[in-house]
Amino acid sequence: MRPRGAAVAADIEGTLIRRGDPGYEDARTGAVWNEVTPRRFPDVLVRAATEADVVHALTWARAQGLRVSLRSGGHNWSGAPLRDGGLLLDLSGLRQCAITPAHGSEPPTATVGPAATGQDLVAALTPQDLAFPVGHCPTVAVGGFLLSGGLGWNSRAWGASCADVREIRAVTADGRTVICSDTEYPELFWAARGAGPGFCAAVTGFRLALHPHPASIMATGLTFPLDEVSRVTEWAEPLARRLPPYVETAFVLASSGPPTESAPRGPRITVAATAFAATEREARQALEPFADCPFGACAVTRRPPVPVSFAALHEGAAAIWPPAHRYAADNLWSPESHATQLTRIADAVAHAPSGKSLVLSPVQPVSQEPALLRNMAFAPLGESYLVCYAIWDDPAGDQDNARWLRDAMAAADPRGDGCRYIAETDLEAGPARARRSYAPATWDRLQEIKAQWDPENLFHSYLAP
């Protein structure tokens, strides 16, 4: 008799590792980019090398009564792909990235695997003078990013990244491979643009619409002591909202900043603005108002507008979210202003146990043009948005930093009923976290689609406490 798992092991080109096998723990911890690895243990890990491997693994899991979780790049801060028992299907080998040039009236597109990263796309698109609203962190894979909606570079102009998804290729719970679009399996396509880690199929490929590469990308910024948070946000938020949509503005509250000639080491607030413009003149004109800050003399540092590239933007982001660190994160959509929200959370940032922790708060992080929010489960759920990151490197600090994150978010959301963005919410902070990431009607529709496409609940749904 063939041992349990032998059939699928013979069929797949990738790797199958069972709990207790050599290499299991490395594979389990390697499934999470975060150095904080949840103590959840799948029975089996399958690292797919091809789409056929995905079909074989799902067919075998269904026959064995194993529930399935999915991993593309492992950037989910809660470690949602790791579940106790069942099968972890690792799609990190599906990293293809192919560009189809424009032909006649057909615009250019990219066909990418779920494990292709933002930096992979930038490297492929830039030489062809094309662009896509990739994630801010370069190593985020498109799988989880696009399934969650995607708040990428220049999303204030281009919309949520999933707005540019034209088709998905997916393997369903019954083992079928389907191509979904606005016209083919439209319900599943709608869910694939926003359902995030609760999506009820395994996506093996995306076809993406592309944008002309901005002729000029320029960035500027001013940094102030954090005790200026109220004055800075009250000045910069209305300014940012008046600027053209191709200007991305964000506040960054840092728990520690280096000393300068005018200020000692201490917590900081930075206003960072990036213009993705058609000409250098347009970019410079769009950023000019940041040079006219009425209290600019109080700035700790000033960065005049300088040309940058998507690759350079990714390098800067990589310094904010370095690898080989420990992370916890949570976010909040709010009907209140950035001034209100950031003033409320500033004291927590100033007293963070780690000097690497920060709050990122983009102004209008995604376009709310109806055409760019059509036919998707994703929707912005507030006027202001912030993400709080606890970042540290010593395991001895796990409890203090996790507690700090929860306390900081309680300060930002004192009633505890704020809305969330599914990609970066602390899913284990409360049983309603996934549900609070969607409008009620959207949540109900997602449950209906899950019941239709995965009636036996083969795929794990949203992580909960």
Instruction: Please say if the pLDDT value at position 165 is more than 70.
Output: yes
For residues 197 and 117, membership in a common domain is answered with: yes
Domains of the chain: total = 3
Residue 458 belongs to some domain of the structure: no
pLDDT of residue 3: 40
CATH of the domain at 239: 3.40.462.20
Residue 204 belongs to some domain of the structure: yes
For residues 289 and 166, membership in a common domain is answered with: no
Over its C-alpha atoms, the chain yields an Rg (Å, rounded) of 22
128 exposure class (CB count in 10 Å sphere: 0-12, 13-18, 19+)? middle
State the average pLDDT for the chain: 95
Instruction: Please say if the pLDDT value at position 42 is more than 70.
Output: yes
What is the pLDDT averaged over residues 101-111? 92
For residues 209 and 220, membership in a common domain is answered with: no
What is the pLDDT averaged over residues 432-448? 97
What is the pLDDT averaged over residues 27-51? 97
pLDDT of residue 8: 54
What is the per-residue pLDDT across 6-28, written as a single tens digit (0 to 9) for each? 555 568 899 999 999 999 999 99
For residues 161 and 241, membership in a common domain is answered with: no
Residue 223 belongs to some domain of the structure: yes
* Lookup result for tokens 């199929």: 201
Among the three residues 55, 90, 125, which one is the final residue of a domain in this structure? 90
What is the per-residue pLDDT across 325-382, written as a single tens digit (0 to 9) for each? 999 999 999 999 999 999 999 999 999 999 999 999 999 999 999 999 999 999 999 9
What is the per-residue pLDDT across 108-152, written as a single tens digit (0 to 9) for each? 999 999 999 999 999 999 999 999 999 999 999 999 999 999 999
What is the pLDDT averaged over residues 279-308? 96
pTM to 2 decimals?
A: 0.95
For residues 108 and 168, membership in a common domain is answered with: yes
Residue 463 belongs to some domain of the structure: no
Residue 276 belongs to some domain of the structure: yes
List the domain range (segments joined by +) for residue 129: 97-213+443-453
For residues 203 and 221, membership in a common domain is answered with: no
Residue 396 belongs to some domain of the structure: yes
For residues 141 and 232, membership in a common domain is answered with: no
Instruction: Please say if the pLDDT value at position 44 is more than 70.
Output: yes
Among the three residues 29, 55, 90, which one is the final residue of a domain in this structure? 90
Residue 61 belongs to some domain of the structure: yes
Residue 459 belongs to some domain of the structure: no
For residues 179 and 232, membership in a common domain is answered with: no
For residues 68 and 199, membership in a common domain is answered with: no
Instruction: Please say if the pLDDT value at position 315 is more than 70.
Output: yes
For residues 36 and 111, membership in a common domain is answered with: no
For residues 239 and 104, membership in a common domain is answered with: no
CATH of the domain at 113: 3.30.465.10
Among the three residues 68, 90, 112, which one is the final residue of a domain in this structure? 90
For residues 411 and 327, membership in a common domain is answered with: yes
Instruction: Please say if the pLDDT value at position 406 is more than 50.
Output: yes
pLDDT of residue 5: 46
